[in-house]
Amino acid sequence: MFDGRQQIVNSKILVIDDEQIIIDVITAHLNVAGFWNVVGISDSIDAVQRMKQENPDMVLLDISMPDVSGNYLIQIARADPNLKTVPLIVVTASDSEETHRRALELGADEVLTKPLQPGTLVQRVEHALSQKLALDVSTLHQRQARCKPVNEKYNELRGLGGRIP
């Protein structure tokens, strides 16, 4: 039987921030809520490749990082076919409306301001992953519907045992 809650808490979450303490705090909050598949990345240059390699279900990222900004990472994710539907939540110390607006324009799904409230963080993560799961299930059903006529014809031909009618 399909267990959506279990699917959500088993999701792989990348946390990208140049400050290891922020990664540790976010990871601890997520662990308490049952999310154990959390990967932290503190090197923004490494984050570009790791986002593609890790195949995450969600990314939490800072905007202000040395070398590679979070805004650039958003652009990379939204241009990549495998990452374009992955929820991106920006976690930033900036309360600037312009910073938040820019991140959303580039494709972030949401912006949270540090310091984070654990309950808000977990609620937003669960909501974003629930939406992604619903989208993934819908996409799967659409693919199955498109394949149904082909599968039916295949099964019909298999039933002939190799004989041509």
Check residue 93 and give its pLDDT. Answer: 94
Check residue 133 and give its pLDDT. Answer: 80
Check residue 1 and give its pLDDT. Answer: 41
Bridge partners (DSSP) of residue 91 are: 112
Helix (H) or strand (E) holding 14: strand 13-16
In the chain, the largest separation of any two C-alpha atoms, in whole Å, equals 71
- pTM attached to this predicted model: 0.82
- Mean pLDDT per 10-residue segment, the chain (165 residues): 72 97 97 96 94 95 95 96 95 95 97 94 95 71 63 66 56
